[in-house]
Amino acid sequence: MAAVAGVLAGAGGAGGAGVPSAGGASAEELLARALEVIDQQSARIDELTRQNAELRELADRQGDQLAEANATIAVLQRMLFGRSSEKSGPAPAGDGDPGPGDDGKPGSGKKKQVKRGPGARGGRRDYSGLPRFEVFWDFPGGGYCCRECGEPFTLLGDHWSGEQLDWQVIIRLVANCQRRYKRECRCPGPVTVMAPGPPKAVGKGLFTNGFIAMLLTERFAAGRSVNSLVTGLARQGAEISPATLAGTCAQAGRLLAPLSDAIAERNRDSWLLHADETTWRVFAPGDGEGPAKFWLWVFIGADTVCFVMDPSRSGKVLARHAGIGEETGQLLPDADGGPRRLVISSDF
């Protein structure tokens, strides 16, 4: 702009159009120079504007990448260290009724009055649904006597000193005894009868149905390994081999096959499936010759999750589970013969 002003100042001293100025340049030449300088400055401004826009776009992209990196770091920190109990405040105790001077409206800025005293401290949960067992504590021998004259004290009552949670694991041996009866009349039929025994999920198995249910819960719901279960049972006095527990799980698995088929059928009827697979080492392949690598497929539907073990990683496993024709690549009709719709979310 200073250059333009200088050119225009020089043009002001010119005698008129087409008349040379003191410097020897006409007004047209000075005006042309001024316009050229203006064009150069405009081009420079456009270039700086473009560079500014590129820098802003780069800053926005870097901000998005930084936010994504922070989110990933936060997830990894939660996976590695877990959630901090100090950052997540305790659940509010009491019934939450508004206190004096509180209008009870959201955003009023006034704290609600909470219950105080024993049993209402922050984070204390209610265990009234558990079985209650009362224990009475007394002096050795019962009662108390005066240390001076030996006169016994009169019982004044009991003092409730609080409640504690007790954790007991009892493994007991159940001896089943079936009653037998003998006929006294002369009517036709068997002379003796015996009451039916306990129901058994596994015919001549070592464990009760309750034991098998607890075994399946600990093994598959809690995710405990067989070695961990063997160690825990041995700590309670029950020495059980890992093969026995594994065989019991296999026998119970055959009993649950109809339920597994029903869950797989419902999972197959979902219109949206999230699918993925990962390697899975097994110790009993089809030929029985040592360990082998299988693939564990997971199919997540709206309300079901189905796991499929297969030695193949090809799409045939997905097609077979989702009901897709391997030759046509089209969805097979539903049970009523009607059309189906399916969306598969996977990494392909």
Using DSSP, state whether 132 is helix, strand or coil. Answer: coil
Tokens at 12, concatenated:
């002001």
- pTM exceeding 0.75: no
- ∠ CA(69), CA(72), CA(74), 5° rounding? 110
Per-residue pLDDT of the chain (348 residues; tens, 9 = 90+): 555 555 555 555 544 444 455 456 788 888 888 999 999 999 999 999 999 999 999 999 999 999 999 999 988 888 877 766 555 555 555 444 444 445 545 555 555 566 665 555 556 788 888 999 898 889 888 888 988 898 899 988 888 888 888 988 889 999 999 999 999 998 998 899 999 988 898 888 899 999 999 999 999 899 999 999 999 999 999 999 999 999 999 999 999 999 999 999 999 888 899 999 999 888 765 666 656 788 999 999 999 999 998 888 888 888 888 888 877 888 888 777 778 888 989 886
Angle between helices 257-268 and 242-255 (to 10 degrees): 60
Check residue 58 and report its DSSP letter: H
**Annotated domain spans of the chain:** 181-255, 258-345
Using DSSP, state whether 217 is helix, strand or coil. Answer: helix
Strand 272-282 vs strand 192-194: parallel, antiparallel, or unpaired?
unpaired
**Hey, which bits of 265-315 come out as E strands?**
272-282, 292-300, 305-310
Q: Is 115 left (phi over 0), alpha (psi -120 to 50) or beta?
A: beta
Backbone angles phi, psi at 145, to 5 degrees: -120, 155
- ∠ CA(279), CA(281), CA(284), 5° rounding? 140
Report d(CA 112, CA 284) in Å as an integer. Answer: 62
